[in-house]
């Protein structure tokens, strides 16, 4: 960690590194433009993508840390659209959505903002699907809105943890060294490092062909996006600690899908504790699955959406 921090100070203070970061960020914005449209919320903008007939049951898709809605438009949206009205969102500070600054470190704030954005599409009683960090936002959504039809949690981060470090990168970004380290990543991170990072997220499954070209990892490498992501992840533990005692009061149907080979969000720390807390939560253990079940076990995810929609009393088309 000390070597990386030193390199970040040196490279981040370099005018050449900063110039290269600006150039790369401009290229990434051009290569991966917004796929949906923007809606105003509280004086800022949220980017969302809508697909499927407006008269079908609504499913809202909330992506994980360091992500954006392109994670869903790669494949899952097309698989859901038709039977459902599918609204994918960029969380505050991620993708093309504006940041709420320090406030959006709280999943409850993110849920409040996204609920307002989705409401502009006429959606009032959605099923909310959250992946990874998005699982915490989905739980916050349900805690705020009793009209939520149901939840689908994919490798969802829902519970406080103890004794588990988030890693050197998040530790660095919680110090003054974070700014130069982010400039280093934006300006100099080689393609092989980006590919290795994606591979680690998908493991033990392979990264799907064409995923990187669609998802746009460069959007996550923008300095402003890195800052928002690391701030949100570093704050998650304290916010989940406040949220978790309220879960027992939830009565809506919840389908939980979690791989037993997920090394990023552990099934025992999160999924198993959630189904113990909430009687209406049902866990499906995906044997051998890692952290990206909507790509590696898509049919299981589609089945979970169908189940929760049926449990909520909404018949898919």
Host H or E run for residue 31: helix 15-31
The sign of the dihedral angle between the CA atoms of 246, 251, 257, 259 is positive
Q: How far apart are CA 95 and CA 88, in angstroms?
A: 12
What separation in angstroms does the CA of 157 have from each of 90, 93, 271? 18, 19, 8
Token reading at 88 = 């994918």
Q: Mean of the per-residue pLDDT values for the chain? A: 93
CB of 73 closer than 8 Å to CB of 214: yes
pLDDT of residue 1: 45
DSSP letter at 38 equals: E
Q: Is 208 exposed, middle or buried (0-12, 13-18, 19+ CB in 10 A)?
A: middle
b or e along 273-291 (b: 16 or more beta carbons within 10 Å of the residue's beta carbon)? bbeebbeebbbbebeebbb
Lowest mean pLDDT among 4-8, 123-127, 143-147: 4-8
pLDDT at 11 over 60: no
Question: How far is residue 142's CA from residue 254's CA, in Å, rounded to a whole number?
Answer: 10
Q: What is the pTM of this model?
A: 0.94
Instruction: Report residue 34 as tokens.
Output: 């917004």
Cα 241 to its chain centre, rounded Å, is 19
CATH architecture, domain defined by 2-311: 3-Layer(aba) Sandwich (3.40)
For residue range 259-309, what is the model confidence (pLDDT) as tens digits? 999 999 999 999 999 999 999 999 999 999 999 999 999 999 999 999 999
Residue for token digits 């280093």? 184
- 3 band by pLDDT with thresholds 50, 70 and 90: very low
Burial class (CB within 10 angstroms; exposed 0-12, middle 13-18, buried 19+) of 245 = exposed
pLDDT value of position 109: 98
Q: What's the pLDDT band for 54 if we cut at 50, 70, 90?
A: very high
Q: What percent of the chain has pLDDT over 90?
A: 85
Q: Is residue 261 within 8 Å of 220, Cβ to Cβ?
A: no
Instruction: Kindly report, residue by residue over 135-171, the tens digit of the pLDDT.
Output: 999 999 999 999 999 999 999 999 999 876 778 888 8
Domain ranges of the chain: 2-311
Task: Give the Cα separation of 77 and 305 in Å (integer).
Answer: 12
Which residue in 127, 133, 140 sits closest to 71, CA to CA?
A: 133
Residues 6+ apart with CB under 8 A from 186: 21, 24, 25, 221, 222, 223, 226
């Amino acid at each position: 960690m000390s070597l990386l921090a030193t390199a970040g100070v040196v490279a981040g203070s370099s005018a050449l590194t900063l110039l290269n970061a600006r150039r790369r960020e401009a290229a990434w914005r051009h290569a991966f433009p917004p796929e949906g449209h923007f809606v105003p919320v509280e004086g800022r903008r949220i980017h969302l993508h809508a697909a499927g007939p407006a008269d079908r049951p609504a499913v809202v898709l909330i992506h994980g840390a360091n992500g954006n809605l392109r994670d869903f438009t790669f494949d899952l949206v097309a698989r859901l659209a038709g039977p459902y009205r599918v609204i994918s969102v960029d969380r505050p500070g991620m993708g093309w959505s504006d940041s709420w600054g320090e406030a959006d470190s709280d999943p409850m704030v993110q849920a409040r903002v996204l609920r307002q954005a989705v409401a502009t599409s006429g959606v009032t009683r959605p099923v909310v699907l959250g992946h990874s960090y998005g699982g915490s936002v989905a739980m916050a959504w349900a805690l705020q809105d009793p009209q939520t039809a149901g939840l689908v949690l994919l490798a969802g981060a829902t519970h406080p943890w103890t004794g588990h470090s988030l890693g050197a990168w998040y530790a660095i970004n919680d110090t003054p060294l974070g700014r130069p380290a982010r400039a280093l990543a934006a300006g100099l991170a080689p393609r092989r490092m980006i590919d290795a990072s994606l591979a680690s997220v998908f493991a033990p499954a392979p990264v799907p062909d064409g995923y990187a070209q669609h998802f746009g990892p460069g959007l996550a490498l923008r300095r402003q996006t890195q800052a928002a992501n690391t701030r949100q992840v570093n704050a998650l533990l304290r916010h989940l600690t406040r949220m978790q005692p309220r879960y027992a009061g939830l009565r809506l149907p919840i389908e939980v899908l979690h791989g037993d080979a997920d090394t990023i969000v552990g099934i025992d720390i999160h999924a198993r504790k959630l189904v113990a807390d909430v009687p209406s939560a049902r866990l499906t253990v995906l044997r051998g699955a890692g952290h990206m079940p909507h790509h590696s076990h898509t049919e299981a995810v589609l089945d979970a959406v169908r189940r929760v929609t049926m449990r909520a009393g909404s018949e898919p088309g």
